[in-house]
Structure 1
Amino acid sequence: MIASTTIFYDTRRPLKDGTYPIKIKLTYQRQRKYYLTGISLSKEDYQKVFGERPRKHFKDIKLELQAREQKAVGIIRKLPVFSFEAFEKEYLNQLPKGTDVFSVFDQYIADLHKQGRASTAISYGNASQSLRQYWGKKNLPFAKVTAEWLMGYELYMVGNGKSLTTVGIYLRSLRIILNLAIEDGLMQKGSYPFSKRKYQIPAGRNVKKALTLEDIQKIFDYEPQTEAEAKARDLFLFSYLCNGINMKDIARLRYRNIQDDKVTFVRAKTERTSKKHLKPIVAVLTTEAKEIIQRWGNKPVEADSLIFDITTDELTPQKEVARIKQGVKTTNKYLKRIAQNIGIKSNISTYTARHSFSTILKRSGAPIEFISESLGHHDLRTTESYLDSFEDDVKKQYASVLTSFRKNN
C-alpha cells in the first residue's frame, strides 16, 4: 500500500494575520499527518490560486505548492520501506529557508535589537547558540523538537556542567519561539512539546544568596580602603535599602524619580513584558540611601539627569548593556574583597542585596504580600522563590521545642 498526498487548506484555525495555513496531507494505512509548507492564504486568495485561470502571482503560488507536493511524492517513491519517520527525515530537512527553529530565533533576535531590547536579544542569542551546539546541524525543523529531544538537551547540558537554572532560561526562550511558530503556522499545535504530560521545563533551585542582618551590619560598618571599595559597598547598600533594586534599574534612575523622600521606578525587566496594570515600585529613601546619593550622585542635580554615572544617555542599547555588565562585574569584584576582609564566607554579589532585602523582611515578620509588592512581583510564588531559609539559631530554637518536655523534669 502506497502513501498518498494532497494539498490541504486548513481552515480549522486562522493565524494571527487572518490567513490559514496550507499543508501537505499524507495518508498511509488510514493514518494521516499534516506537514506545513510555510505558505498561508486568505480564503479569497485561496480561491484565486486554485481557480480555473489564476493570474501571475496566484499562479506562482499554485506552482510552488504543487512543487512541494511533488517533492513529497518523490521522497515516498525513493523510500525502500515507507514510514512516517523515514519520510519526515527527508522532507523536513528540505524545508524552505525561514521555516525552521533557528531561522525564527534569528528573526526574533533581530526584532528585539530593533526595539532596543539589547539585553533580551543577548539572552535569546545565548539560548540559540546553546541549542545549535546540541543539535549540530544548520537547520532544526520544528517537528524535531519533541519531548524526547528536549530531555536529551537537558541531559546534555547537565552533563556539561550547566545548572538546571541555565537549562530553564534557555528552554523558556525556545518555548516562546515555538509559540510564535504556531501563531505563524510554521508548527502544528498538536506537536507542541511543553506540557505536564510531555516535557516540563526544570525549575532550578537557587543556592542561598541572602545575608543575615548581622552580615549587613558588618558591611554598613566597614571602612573602605579605596574609593572603588567605597563605591561598590554603597551601590550594594543602596540596592538593599531600595527594595532590592537591581543594577540596571539603578543605572536608569533619574532625579525626577525622587519625590517626598521616596524613589519611584518601573523595573526594566517588566516594562515591556507586562501586558496590563504595570505598577511602579515605591521605595522609601532612608537617611543612609540619601547619603549614598549625595556621595555618588551626578552634579548638578537636574530632574532629567541620571543619578549615578553607571551609564549615559548617549549610549546605544547594546553599549548600555555592555556598560551595565561591566559595572556589575567591577562592583562584584570589590564586594568579594570586602566580604573577605570582614569575614563573610557567602559568595556575595550585587544580586545578594535583593535576596537579603526580601529575606530579612520575611525574618522580621513582614507579610509576604508587602514583600511581593516591594519587589515588583505579580505572583506571590515568584516572591516565595526569593525568600531564603531562616538562620541556624532560629532553627535550633524551634528544634528545641520538640523536646521541651525534658526541661520540666
Structure 2
Amino acid sequence: MIGATTAIVHDTRIKKKDGTYAIKLRVTYNREQKYFPVGKFLTKDDWKTMKEGKHRNKTLKDLETHLSGIENKAIKIIDNMESFSFAEFMNQFNDKPQSKTSVLDALSERHKELTDKDRISTAITFQYTIKSIEDYLTSIKRKKLSFTDITPEWLQSFEDWMTSKGKSITTTGMFLRNLRTMVNQAIEEGNLPRENYPFSKNKYQIPSARNVKKALTIENIKQFIEYPAKTEAEQRAKDMWLFSYLCNGVNMKDIVRLKFKNMDSKRISFVRSKTERSTKANQKSITAIRIPEINAIIEKWGNKHAVPNNYVFPILSVDDTPEEEYEKIKQAVKTINKYTKRIGKELNFELSLTTYTARHSFATVLKRSGAPIEFISESLGHNNLRTTESYLDSFEDDTKESYQRKLLDF
C-alpha cells in the first residue's frame, strides 16, 4: 500500500517499574502516526544491544525474529488493503474476524437472522441491498467493502449510482437505511470508531422522497364507493380497499392475517405486524368499530367458518410457511392494486389508487373533518405524532383560502 509505512520502535515515553519500555509497531500514513503494542518490553540497554547485533544472547535474537514476524504481518495486511484506514488495519492486525469488518458479510448475517426469525419481508430488503452494493462495487472495480470505507463521499457516490440506474428515492433510501443499521451495529460492537460515523446532518443524510399526494378527498371516496364494479374480481378488490380505509387504514398484510379471535360483536382489535417485533415494550393495539359497512364486507368475502383461529378472509392457511405467507400476501396486494388502479383511471383520479392510498386517505379525511391528530395517531397505531404527520396530506386550496382570508377579517 503506497503511502503507509511500518517500523518496530522502542517507546521510551513511559517507563515501567522494572525499568523497561514498551516495544510497539508504528504505522505512518499521510503524516499521521499510530502505535500498536506488541506485548514486549526491553530496557534501553537491551534494545540498543538487540539493534546493534553485538553480544546478543539467544533471548534477544529470538525476540528480534519475533518482532520481524510482527512487522511482516503488518506489511502483508497493508498490501492487501484496497484503501488504507487505521481502524481497518487495527481490526486485522488484532486478528478480529473478517465478518466483523466486512460490510457485505455483516449484511448477509443480518439477512440470515431476519430469515430465521421469519421476518421475510424485511429480509428480502437486505437481500436487495446486498445485490445493489455488489453491483456498485463491480462498477468501480472493487471486490471488498469494509466499514471504514463507508464515508460521506462513498455514500453520496452510491446514492448517485443508484439514481443513475433508475432506482427511486424511496428504494435508495431503504437500502441506505439498511446500511446505516449495520454501521450502527459495527460501532456498538467496537468494530468502527464512533468518530467515523458518516450519517449526520453535517456529513451525509439519507434522501427521502418528497411528499407527493397519496390521499383521496372525501368526494373521491364517494365516487369510489358508488362506482359499479364490472366483475367479481373488481368488486372484491374494491371491497378490500374499502375495508382497509374503514378499519383505520390497516394495511393488507394485517387484513390478510386477521383472525376471528381479533374480533368481537362490536370491534376489531389487533397489533400491527410492522411493530409487533420492533416495539415489544410499547405495543399499541389498534381498534376499529365494526360499522355496518365493515360487517357487510366480512359477510360477503369472509371465511364462513368463524372459529377463533381461522383467518377472517380465506387467503392464508394456518399451515403456510413464512415464505408461503409472504408470497400469498404479495400476490393479494398485487391483485387488489391491479383492479383499484383500473377503477381510479375510470374515475379520472389524479393519483394511482393502491392499497397504500387507503391508509393515507383514512388519515387525511379524518384530519380534514377536524379530528384531533392525537386521535388519528392512536387509530393508525403510531407511537409519536411526527410519524402521523408524515401521513397527512395538505389541505385543499379552498380550505387554505378560507384561513388566509381571516388575515383580513377585521
- Measured against the shorter chain, the TM-score band is 0.7 to 0.9
Q: Quick one: which of 181, 186, 191 aligns to 1:181?
A: 186
* Kept in 1: contact 2:103–2:182 (CA 8 A): yes
* Secondary structure in 2 matching 1:259: coil
What pairs up with 1:375-394 in 2 under 5 angstroms?
A: 375-394=380-399
Q: Which moved more, 1:304-313 or 1:127-136?
A: 127-136
1:228 aligns with 2:230: no
1:156 aligns with 2:176: no
* Secondary structure in 1 matching 2:281: coil
Number of aligned residue pairs: 356
What pairs up with 1:254-333 in 2 under 5 angstroms?
A: 254-333=259-338
* Secondary structure in 1 matching 2:210: coil
Task: List runs of 5+ in structure 2 lacking aligned partners.
Answer: 10-23, 38-66
* Kept in 2: contact 1:238–1:289 (CA 8 A): yes
How many Å apart are 1:91 and its aligned residue? Answer: 5.9
Give, in whole Å, the separation in 1 of the partners of 2:153 and 2:182.
Answer: 18
Q: Which residue of 2 aligns with 1:105?
A: 107
Deviations 1:228-263 (A, max 9, x none): 011000000000000000000001100110124110
* Kept in 2: contact 1:92–1:141 (CA 8 A): no
Deviations 1:330-373 (A, max 9, x none): 10110012122233232110010000000000001111111111
Change (3 A) 1:93 1:181: closer
Give, in whole Å, the separation in 1 of the partners of 2:180 and 2:8.
Answer: 31
Change (3 A) 1:184 1:401: closer
* Kept in 2: contact 1:154–1:167 (CA 8 A): yes
1:143 aligns with 2:153: no
Q: Quick one: which of 108, 122, 125 aligns to 1:123?
A: 125
1:363 aligns with 2:368: yes
Q: Which residue of 1 aligns with 2:6?
A: 3
* Kept in 2: contact 1:93–1:141 (CA 8 A): no
* Kept in 2: contact 1:75–1:90 (CA 8 A): no
TM-score, length of structure 1 as denominator length: 0.79
What pairs up with 1:169-208 in 2 under 5 angstroms?
A: 169-208=174-213
Give, in whole Å, the separation in 2 of the partners of 1:214 and 1:178.
Answer: 47
Higher gyration radius (CA): 2
Give, in whole Å, the separation in 2 of the partners of 1:311 and 1:216.
Answer: 29
* Secondary structure in 2 matching 1:283: strand
Q: Which residue of 2 aligns with 1:245?
A: 250
Give, in whole Å, the separation in 2 of the partners of 1:228 and 1:203.
Answer: 35
* Kept in 2: contact 1:75–1:87 (CA 8 A): no
* Secondary structure in 2 matching 1:3: strand
* Kept in 2: contact 1:5–1:72 (CA 8 A): no
Task: Output the amino acid matched with 1:287.
Answer: P
* Secondary structure in 2 matching 1:276: helix
Change (3 A) 1:75 1:122: closer
* Kept in 1: contact 2:363–2:392 (CA 8 A): yes
Task: List runs of 5+ in structure 1 lacking aligned partners.
Answer: 7-22, 36-64
How many Å apart are 1:202 and its aligned residue? Answer: 2.0
Task: Output the amino acid matched with 2:110.
Answer: Y
Change (3 A) 1:30 1:170: closer
Give, in whole Å, the separation in 1 of the partners of 2:247 and 2:68.
Answer: 63
Task: Output the amino acid matched with 1:353.
Answer: A
